[in-house]
């Protein structure tokens, strides 16, 4: 059974993580520095989240998070099963291994994504809290 | 080891004068209307391939240069599309083979090459590529990678997909006997770098280890021989085989910080890939030593001495440039080179998790 029953549940979980990141003084500025529009396309449930670190965000945010389809051309698109995303944000999935195994698809200049990897480390700590609060299953090592 | 996978999809053939029966092999594979991709400096070798299959080659693109660039890939693709070719016949070194492989992306998928950056972006078979290496170093005849220089960004782009693997590789040692001393040496060290970096990589597995060690044996035994006597066909054959084995090894195990730095040097300062590897290999190995002592011990037993010492001793015999400063790199380039290296995919399979400061230090040691 998929971790997320509906797209709303996914937006409420992964979307909340991204929105937290957009206001986090440690993570936010580093993503902003990347100056990219990154689209995450998820399957089961079908959903997408776009992180816009290129255009000016609302006051108090370092970047804008769009939940659901938005008319914005991405620099990089990451596509994966929603369950894979859940495992990834628990810090239990190596990005390069996931790419090698075809669990993730990255379209665009992959270097720009790799550059952001060190910046997102605090999110691995935050995500399990968000998932737990919503009663979602954990991920074993 | 988190995950391991291994597969050989290229039909690899090796033999003396094998290129002369190209028509038969292409016919067996059902390949017709090919574009010959090569570089002007080895046109005579490419002509030999064309003469062997005159009815199956309908055009020639011979403007590939070392560190081949996006523009050359797109020119190749345009010509192939005009001629409505059914396959690409790449005869040359790593740049030629990678140009043909990258052109296959553009021919099949359309658009420009940069539209197809990413991982797992290519989802269907590409126009087939037949690879005939004329150097013993690249391994590109069997790998799932194509490395192309982005002239605008002055960096190297790595395209990676199972669909980039050539359908056929013809290893004919008679095509490599004309290589001069420097090219023989630098491409041989490129192959050694592939083998050693694949062996110590975080992505190494039992299949890649076996191939990498066989490649190390072959290179250490035969590179000195071909450098002494370039006409030794037997040793040239062994070098082609070792290079191919190393290519198979790193196609799955990937490479490490030496390649990351070498790609940066090629992208920013246009240092030829084999030369950059030759300069950086001992420094990269020394840097990695603490992270892979067991693998170093296996290499030590295999090589008969400490791996860094063996590499240094081999390099001393080759007469290649030994310092980055000797190949057009300026001291002020080092921080930018390190930044580029840190963005290169190869750095992620390096056995030691590298920091920017450490890579600057390695580059400085090699400067």
DSSP for B6-38, please give it.
----SEEEE-TTGGGGHHHHHHHTT--SEEEE-
- Rounded CA-CA distance B288/B292 in Å is 7
- Tell whether A139 is covered by a domain: no
Q: What's the CA gap between B200 and B209, in Å, rounded?
A: 9
Instruction: Tell me if A69 sits within 8 A of A41, measured CB to CB.
Output: no
ipTM exceeds 0.85:
no
Structure tokens at B116: 């197809």
Chain A and chain B share a number of CB contacts under 8 A equal to 47
Contact check, Cβ <8 Å, A108/B118:
yes
Q: Please, is A141 exposed, middle or buried when counting C-beta atoms within 10 Å of its C-beta (0-12, 13-18, 19+)?
A: exposed
pTM equals 0.88
Q: Considering the domain delimited by B11-175, tell me its CATH architecture.
A: 3-Layer(aba) Sandwich (3.40)
* Portions of chain B given CATH number 1.20.1090.10: 181-366
Give B348's contacts in chain A (Cβ within 8 Å).
96, 114
pLDDT over threshold 70, residue A141: no
Rounded distance, CA A45 to CA A67, Å? Answer: 13
Q: Distance of CA B84 to CAs A19, B103, B127, Å?
A: 50, 13, 11
Rounded CA separation A23/A2 (Å): 29
Is the C-alpha dihedral spanning B353, A95, A18, A116 positive or negative?
positive
Predicted pLDDT at A109: 86
Eight-class DSSP state of B230: T
Angle between helices B181-200 and B307-318 (to 10 degrees): 170
Number of domains in chain A: 1
Average pLDDT over residues A43-58: 96
Domain B181-366, CATH 1.10.150.120 — does that match?
no
Could you tell me if residue A100 is inside a domain?
yes
Is position A52 within any domain? yes
Three-state DSSP at B209 gives helix
Residue A79 in domain:
yes
**Mean pLDDT computed over A18-26:** 96
Domain of residue A113 covers 7-133
pLDDT of residue A100: 79
Optimal mutation site among A110, A113, A116, A117, interface B, most CBs of chain B within 10 A: A110
Please tell me the predicted confidence (pLDDT) of residue B352. 96
List chain B residues with pLDDT less than 70: 1-2
Contacts of B344 in chain A (CB under 8 A): 111
For residue A106, being part of any structural domain is answered with yes
Other C-beta atoms lying within 10 Å of the C-beta of residue B152: 10
CATH number at residue A27: 3.30.1050.10
Q: Which residues of B touch A115 (CB under 8 A)?
A: 342-343
Chain B residues with CB under 8 Å of A105 CB are 118-121
pLDDT at A10 over 90: yes
In a domain, A1, yes or no: no
Query: Nearest CA of chain A to the CA of B356: how many Å?
Result: 12
Indicate yes or no: CB of A110 within 8 angstroms of CB of B117. Answer: yes
Q: Report whether pLDDT(A139) > 90.
A: no
Tens digits of per-residue pLDDT, A106-123? 999 888 888 888 889 899
Q: Is B1 an 8 Å CB contact of chain A?
A: no
pLDDT at B154: 85
Give the confidence band of A140 by pLDDT, cuts at 50, 70, 90: low
**What SS3 class is residue A106?**
strand
């Amino acid at each position: 059974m998929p971790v997320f029953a509906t797209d709303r549940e996914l937006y409420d979980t992964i979307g909340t993580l991204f929105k937290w990141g957009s206001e986090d003084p440690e993570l936010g500025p580093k993503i902003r520095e990347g100056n990219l529009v990154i689209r995450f396309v998820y399957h089961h449930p079908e959903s997408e989240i776009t992180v816009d670190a290129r255009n000016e965000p609302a006051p108090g945010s370092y970047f804008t998070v769009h939940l659901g389809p938005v008319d914005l051309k991405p620099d990089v698109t990451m596509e994966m099963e929603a369950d894979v995303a859940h495992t990834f944000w628990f810090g239990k999935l190596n990005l390069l291994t996931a790419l090698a195994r075809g669990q993730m698809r990255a379209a665009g200049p992959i270097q720009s994504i790799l550059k952001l990897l060190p910046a997102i480390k605090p999110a691995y700590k935050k995500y399990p809290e968000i998932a737990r609060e919503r009663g979602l299953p954990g991920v074993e090592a | 080891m988190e995950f391991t996978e291994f597969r050989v999809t290229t039909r690899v053939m090796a033999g003396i004068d094998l290129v002369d029966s190209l028509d038969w092999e292409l016919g067996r594979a059902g390949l017709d209307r090919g574009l010959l991709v090569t570089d002007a400096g080895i046109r005579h070798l490419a002509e030999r391939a064309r003469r062997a299959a005159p009815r199956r080659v309908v055009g020639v693109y011979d403007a590939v240069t070392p560190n081949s660039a996006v523009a050359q890939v797109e020119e190749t693709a345009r010509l192939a599309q005009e001629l409505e070719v059914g396959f690409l016949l790449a005869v040359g070194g790593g740049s030629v083979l990678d140009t043909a492989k990258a052109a296959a992306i553009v021919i099949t998928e359309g658009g420009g090459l940069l539209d197809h950056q990413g991982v797992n972006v290519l989802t269907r078979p590409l126009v087939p590529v037949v690879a005939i290496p004329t150097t013993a170093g690249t391994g590109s005849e069997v790998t799932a990678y194509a490395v192309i220089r982005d002239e605008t960004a002055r960096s190297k782009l790595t395209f990676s997909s199972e669909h980039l693997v050539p359908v056929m590789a013809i290893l004919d040692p008679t095509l490599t006997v004309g290589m001069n001393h420097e090219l023989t040496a630098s491409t041989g060290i490129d192959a050694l770098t592939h083998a050693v970096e694949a062996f110590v990589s975080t992505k190494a597995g039992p299949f890649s280890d076996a191939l990498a060690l066989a490649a190390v044996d072959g290179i250490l035994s035969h590179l000195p021989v071909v450098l002494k006597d370039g006409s030794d066909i037997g040793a040239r054959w062994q070098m082609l085989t070792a290079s191919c084995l190393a290519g198979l090894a790193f196609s799955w195990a990937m490479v490490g910080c030496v390649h990351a730095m070498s790609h940066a040097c090629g992208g920013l300062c246009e240092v030829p890939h084999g030369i950059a590897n030759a300069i950086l290999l001992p420094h990269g190995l020394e840097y990695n030593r603490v992270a892979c002592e067991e693998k170093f011990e296996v290499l030590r037993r295999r090589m008969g001495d400490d791996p860094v010492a063996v590499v240094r001793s081999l390099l001393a015999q080759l007469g290649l440039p030994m310092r980055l400063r000797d190949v057009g790199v300026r001291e002020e380039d080092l921080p930018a080179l390190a930044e580029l290296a840190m963005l290169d995919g190869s750095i992620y399979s390096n056995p030691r998790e590298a920091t920017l400061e450490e890579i600057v230090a390695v580059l400085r040691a090699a400067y």
